[in-house]
Chain A
Amino acid sequence: MLKYFAKRIVLGLVTIWFIASATFFGMHAVPGDPLAGDKAMTAQIRANLEAKYGLDQPLGTQYLIYLGNIAQGDFGISFTQENRRVNDIIREHFPISATLGILAIVFAGLGGVLWGALTALYRNRWPDVVIMFLVILGISVPSFVVAAISQWSLVGLNLATGTAVLPIGGWGTVWHMLVPALVLGLSTMAYLTRLMRSSMLEVVSTDYIRTAKAKGLPATQIFSRHQLRNAILPVVTVLGPAIAGITTGGFVVEIVFAIPGLGRYFVQAIQQLDYTVIMGTTVFYGAFLVFMVILVDLVYGFIDPRVRVEK
């Protein structure tokens, strides 16, 4: 088991190296550079700046210097934000995105399993039809629309009641997190609901559920001990990639709800070709996702004994 995870971690590091390299060369292949702003500068100033940031070196040398720095956990200094270290940007803003993302995943996971199980139990009856309609809606409507509508509804709600029931934006308390996390998790929840529904329907008609019935177990026990645990396996499998989707896709929701998360820096950096911030945020996100996928595999082993024994 330990050996298996040691292997997974080494493979994860290779993945991160690959992400770093691909981002590095991809970024440099884009025309322009961080100094090509609207401020006119003389050739002398430009040369000085290039020397300061190491941009005068050949690409290969820059790459090696960069890898060395990343290996030491140093992402460098931002090009566009005076004297801000990329590490500080991540340290200040990532916890906000992560909190939002984790809350969204919790919503999506719990909701997906609950609604999926419900639709399977009430197959082809009205709860199934209603939920599946909402699921299609949840999958098809983009998150910025849902975000805007829910924010507008919040404004209406606060106006109607005359008090601030929930804040309409910003960050600080748990109340600030609820609606954005729901909005962020919505499409994943919809996807997981569909997955859970089909997996549940498959499990219901398996031989071992027939055995459980033949044993005379009460329906609630068959559901909780035999159906749920087996039906949840595919849902857990896609949770890893789902976390990827939610944490990287969070910036739209962050911007609509004025949440100071990392997503905004991620997008801004690409627009401004802020090399160090692009590299820093991408490699950091990449490492985070790799870690999450490994974590999900670890959890999977606890649920499914067949995975646990693998040496």
Chain B
Amino acid sequence: MSEPILQVANLHVDFQTYGGVVQAVRGVSFDVCAGQTLAIVGESGCGKSVTVQSLMGLIPMPPGRIHQGSAHLRGHDILASKIIDGQDIRGSQISMIFQDPMTSLNPTMNIGSQIAETLEVHKGYSKSDAFARAIELLDMSKIPEAAKRAKQYPFEFSGGMLQRAMIAMAIACEPAILVADEPTTALDVTIQAQILDLLGDLQQETGMAIILITHDLGVVARMADEVMVMYAGEVVERGGVDDIFYRSGHPYTQGLRLAMPTNNQDTEANQTLVAIDGSPPDLFNPPRGCAYHPRCPYAMQVCAEQAPPTRTLGADHQAQCWLHHEMAGALPDGLVSASKVGQ
């Protein structure tokens, strides 16, 4: 594994509301390496988007507050300042694409100018040079007739085309990291595949890292090198993509996997989908101990009392669960133990 370019440690993000303090992110740490794809998965409201938006400075403050933790991009503290060497890292070092391309572009500005804008700001291009480059970028993002399309407005584009334009905009300054916040959720399935292919191709060409936020495990299987599973603002399991899919060590990860439809013809095809019981935790008052214990089918007494320690299950594979403790009984089916994995 290469040297990480982004290191996030023990990040805590709160929102002060009239109803109290929402603890959206509670101690998240991760590293991102060049050329790798880190997928962050979890149900709605588990803090995936807040984590990356706090790194991008997109959280409105107040009510938002980063009250603990650090984030370093190549050694620079990016929580303290988004400016490195007089340049805003947003758009140049880290760029972002969003869930809904239909509303994420300015409706009164043509597509080319919106892409050109980043180049003018970060690279000091002239207006005409930036527009010419924008056309090349649209072409790289596989938009046909890019020169003509660049002069059009967002309402003249389809959803898939808009997401391509967003990608063109995001890669304009050759960022080290591309954050994709549910990039395919608003698109139909065939377009989803095209967008994911495009992201994969661009990553191959530029060597950028991708942080992919999604709740679609199919997308994870296709794109990710590493996976981080979040629940209630915490990381419950992390590991390589195969660790998460074939050797999951946390009951929540297992629950997500069982809730996913598959078209395998063997064993799992005949099984009915299993929903995870209960509802997401109340982040005004996160449960004591392990946040997942009220919904966990294997919960023990200790789970409700003490937060579980992080257990290493293999190379770069960790889970936070009491089931892996020496004093816990035999592991339930489908969960993998530290001893079984080995090195």
Q: Is A91 part of the contact surface with B, judged by Cβ < 8 Å?
A: no
**Complexed CA–CA distance, A217 and B58 (Å):** 13
> CB distance A215 to B117 under 8 Å?
yes
Residues of B within 8 A of A303 (CB): 108
Q: Is A229 part of the contact surface with B, judged by Cβ < 8 Å?
A: yes
List the B residue with the shortest CB-CB distance to A209. Answer: B106
Residues of B within 8 A of A57 (CB): none
Interface residues of B in 87-103 (CB under 8 A from A): 87-92, 95-96, 98, 100, 103
Residues of A within 8 A of B (CB-CB), count: 23
Interface residues of B in 145-162 (CB under 8 A from A): 153, 155-156
> CB distance B96 to A214 under 8 Å?
yes
> CB distance A306 to B155 under 8 Å?
yes
User: Which of A161-169, A218-226, A243-251, A278-286 forms contacts with chain B?
Assistant: A218-226
- A211 and B104 contact, Cβ closer than 8 Å, known pairs A217-B121, A225-B117: yes
Residues of B within 8 A of A215 (CB): 90-91, 95, 117-118, 121, 169
**Complexed CA–CA distance, A25 and B162 (Å):** 56
Q: Is B192 part of the contact surface with A, judged by Cβ < 8 Å?
A: no
0/1 per residue, A283-311, Cβ < 8 Å to B?
A: 00000000000000000000111100100
Choose from B82, B95, B155 the contact partner of A305 (Cβ within 8 Å): B155
Q: Is B341 part of the contact surface with A, judged by Cβ < 8 Å?
A: no
Q: Is A81 part of the contact surface with B, judged by Cβ < 8 Å?
A: no
> CB distance A217 to B117 under 8 Å?
yes
Q: Is B79 part of the contact surface with A, judged by Cβ < 8 Å?
A: no
> CB distance A218 to B121 under 8 Å?
yes
Q: Is B107 part of the contact surface with A, judged by Cβ < 8 Å?
A: yes
> CB distance B108 to A230 under 8 Å?
yes
> CB distance B109 to A226 under 8 Å?
yes
Residues of B within 8 A of A (CB-CB), count: 31
> CB distance A210 to B104 under 8 Å?
yes
**Complexed CA–CA distance, A41 and B91 (Å):** 86
> CB distance A216 to B108 under 8 Å?
no
Interface residues of B in 102-123 (CB under 8 A from A): 103-110, 117-118, 121-122
> CB distance B92 to A208 under 8 Å?
no
Central interface residue in B92, B109, B156, by most chain A CB within 10 Å:
B109
Residues of A within 8 A of B109 (CB): 225-226, 229
> CB distance B57 to A213 under 8 Å?
yes
> CB distance A214 to B56 under 8 Å?
yes
- A305 and B117 contact, Cβ closer than 8 Å, known pairs A208-B105, A214-B56, A214-B58: no
Q: Is A140 part of the contact surface with B, judged by Cβ < 8 Å?
A: no
> CB distance A208 to B169 under 8 Å?
no
Residues of B within 8 A of A304 (CB): 107-108
Q: Is A212 part of the contact surface with B, judged by Cβ < 8 Å?
A: yes
Can you give 6 contacting A-B residue pairs, CB < 8 Å?
Answer: A214-B95, A214-B98, A217-B118, A218-B121, A230-B107, A305-B155
* Residues of B bordering A, CB below 8 Å: 56-58, 82, 87-92, 95-96, 98, 100, 103-110, 117-118, 121-122, 153, 155-156, 166, 169
Known: A212-B106, A215-B90. 10 other contacts (CB 8 A): A207-B103, A211-B105, A211-B166, A214-B96, A215-B117, A216-B121, A225-B109, A230-B107, A305-B108, A306-B153
* Residues of A bordering B, CB below 8 Å: 206-208, 210-218, 221, 225-226, 229-230, 233, 303-306, 309
